[in-house]
Amino acid sequence: MVLLASSACAAAPAFGQASAVEGRVGKLESEMRAVQRKVFPGGGGQYLEPEIKPATPDDTPGSPSGSPLSDLTARVNALESQLSGVTGQIETTQHRTQVLEDAFNAYKRSTDARIKALEDTAASTGGGTGSPAPIMGDADAPPPRAGGKGAGVKPPAARPGKADDVAPPTTDPARQKQLAAIERSQSGDPAEDAYLYGYRLWQAKMYPEAEAQFKLVTATYPKHKRASYAQNLLGRSYLEDGKPSLASLAFYDNYKKWPDGERAPDSLYYLGQSLVRLGKPAADVCKVYRELEDVYGAKLSDAMKADVTRAKAQSKCG
């Protein structure tokens, strides 16, 4: 009787330990299933059993090998190890995601600030005169036509209501005669013909007529490659006509609306020139030149690079 009581007393702690370990196992397995559902969504509720190595026989007297308590302890150790590893992977993934989000947000803030600075600079107006860098060559000239210099279709007789007859009316006989002498092309590409007519008006220094023609081109053919050319020459016409404020807006619009256009880099250069003519602070001018180099540096011709370098030196850009 005493022996049985002693055996019962000795078994009670072991039973209590087994119950406690069993509780830990149940909790760990539940947590592991939750983690696996998060890491492996769509897994159909499958539970990946941990690989549990056979328990090392315990040589301690009174602890038989393969007892339920030792088996449960091995399962607990395996589950705790696997749960720790999976949790570490989740934390690493979350950290990488946060790093990517922070980098994107920083890039967005920088880009928004750059665009806002350019908008503020281009929209500002004011008086004063400056000494701009020399204007670049005639980059907007159309390519030579077959047949040599001067070849091309002769101007047709004036036709009322023709789409490109948008020049402001004039009562000056001399100017009417000059306007009638401007050649009109008939290449079959109406956008190209409209641009070339505006180009010849600008070349003849008939700025009001040229400005109206370039506005027609950009409004009617915004998808044509000549839209970028026309908007750039609109700004140059304003600039040469003594209207640097309007010129600055026209140049910035070209950069904003047609950033991939062939004359977008030219417009940023001339935007800087317009700001100099307006007497704007050198800091504002230098922002424009830096934007030009940052966005189009690899695409600039050697001639434009030289012009930009000279303009930056005159504005004392750092």
Residue 200, exposed/middle/buried by CB under 10 A (0-12, 13-18, 19+)?
buried
Least confident of 45-54, 203-212, 298-307: 45-54
What is the reported pLDDT for 106? 63
CA distance 155 to 227: 23
Least confident of 70-84, 132-146, 180-194, 212-226: 132-146
Top-confidence residue, 198 or 2 = 198
pTM for the whole structure: 0.54
Top-confidence residue, 318 or 18 = 318
Torsion (CA) 4, 7, 8, 14 in degrees, nearest 10: -170
32 pLDDT above the threshold of 60: yes
User: What are 204's two structure tokens?
Assistant: 């003849």
Q: Which residue has the tokens 């946060």?
A: 98
- % of the chain residues with pLDDT over 90: 42
145 pLDDT above the threshold of 80: no
Region 123-130: mean pLDDT is: 46
What is the reported pLDDT for 151? 36
Q: Which residues contact 282 (CB under 8 A, 6 or more apart)?
A: 315, 316, 317
- Collapsing DSSP states into helix, strand and coil, what is residue 103? helix
What is the reported pLDDT for 96? 67
Region 146-166: mean pLDDT is: 38
What is the reported pLDDT for 97? 65
pLDDT band at 18 (very low <50, low <70, confident <90, very high): low
Least confident of 24-38, 168-182, 236-250: 24-38
Region 257-286: mean pLDDT is: 95
pLDDT tens track for 88-105: 777 776 766 676 666 556
Region 21-34: mean pLDDT is: 69
Region 205-220: mean pLDDT is: 96
pLDDT band at 3 (very low <50, low <70, confident <90, very high): very low
152 pLDDT above the threshold of 60: no
CA distance 79 to 146: 83
Region 204-224: mean pLDDT is: 96
What is the reported pLDDT for 1? 46
